[in-house]
A = this chain, B = another copy of it.
Amino acid sequence: MVRYLGKPWYVGIWEGQDYLSNLERTQEDVKLIINAARDLERKFKAKVPTPYLQGQTLFMFFYNRSLRTRNSFEAGMSQLGGHAHFLSPQDVYTPTLPEDMEAYKTEAIGDVARVLSRYGNAIAIRIYADAAKWHIGRGHRVIEEFAKWASIPVLNMEDDVFHPFQSLADVKAALDVVPNLRGKKFVVSYAYSGGLKPLAVPQDVAIMAAMMGAEVWIAHPPGFELMENVMEAVRGLADRYGGSVRVTSDMKEAFEGATFVYPKAWSPKAFFPPFSADGKVHKEEAVEYQSRFRNWIVTRELLEEAGRPYYMHCGPADRGQEVTDEVLDTYEKSLYFEEAENRLHVQKAVMSMVMGSRYE
């Protein structure tokens, strides 16, 4: 491939684009990202400098706490020669949707996005759950509002519908052990947690598995259905890329013969607007309802019986609820830390693509 002034082929190829959802991308796009991520991974491990975003600034808004996301984006920017600002809502006038403005505490997202567009090179946002008032989709709207007003790329660091960099990291981890997912059984499964988690990860992983042509199984108890428009998109991707989608409420059946299992908690959406009957948020009822499904836990026995699939989880896993310590600490085919690591590589890839310039 052609190099531009010593920069690798991927720097700046999508200059100025947002990255809000993998649904705006194709299988070909994802393969480009993974190739770029592999190049950056090799250079990172060989300590080869990669100053492709020299002097650039990423503004990161964390409405929710984070370990992997914050550290992988911040370290990634440093490794690319730039710098990331860690912005928590209490430190700034919180950027807010027009209908949620509170005088003297918040500032219109449109104003924040336009100001920061003058100072730096991209804006990244994480917002879901309480920070998005548990009205599912409101977090994603916040990110879309940033994208509407910003003249620099906006990156989705996880909202209440999508978590695109997680599923990119996941699919890279999968492709690093199984070079082609076509025809492979890839299970996105519910697993119990007492906490209320967003639907972003299972939805985005299902999207990505379907985009890679896998045989996607989605396993969950009744009440944990994914959003219908996401399911439609997943089915469309399966059709387009030669895979399939099946939904079951039997974890064991789903795991049987799988190549990959991705068992993870999410919230039963019928307890939250816009899906709740009365349009209200019912957190306590949701917690109580999900407590019936404590038996959705991943153990070594379950994995052995299923034929030893690769175990996947975005982290942090709730030990003793979603999965046993034994699986996390000793299961030979766990990709848990590889997935976390790949956050760094895929994010550096996408940042290089959308923030970089093809020419000096």
Contacts and interface: CB of A to CB of B under 8 A. Distances in A.
Contact of A71 (B85, B357, B360): B85
Contacts of A319: 101, 108
Contacts of A82: 78
Interface in A169-226: 193-195
Interface in A84-99: 85-88, 90-93
A333 interface: no
A115 B340 contact: yes
A65 interface: yes
A247 B119 CA distance: 36
A303 to B, nearest CB: 19
Contacts of A81: 55
State how many copies of this chain the complex holds. 3
B49 A119 contact: no
A120 interface: yes
Nearest to A108: B319
A315 interface: yes
Contacts of A134: none
B118 A90 contact: no
Interface string A102-129: 0110011011101110111000000000
A136 to B, nearest CB: 19
Interface in A42-85: 47, 49-51, 54-55, 57, 59, 62, 65-68, 70-72, 74-76, 78-79, 81-83, 85
7 contacts: A47-B357, A57-B74, A57-B75, A59-B71, A70-B91, A76-B119, A104-B195
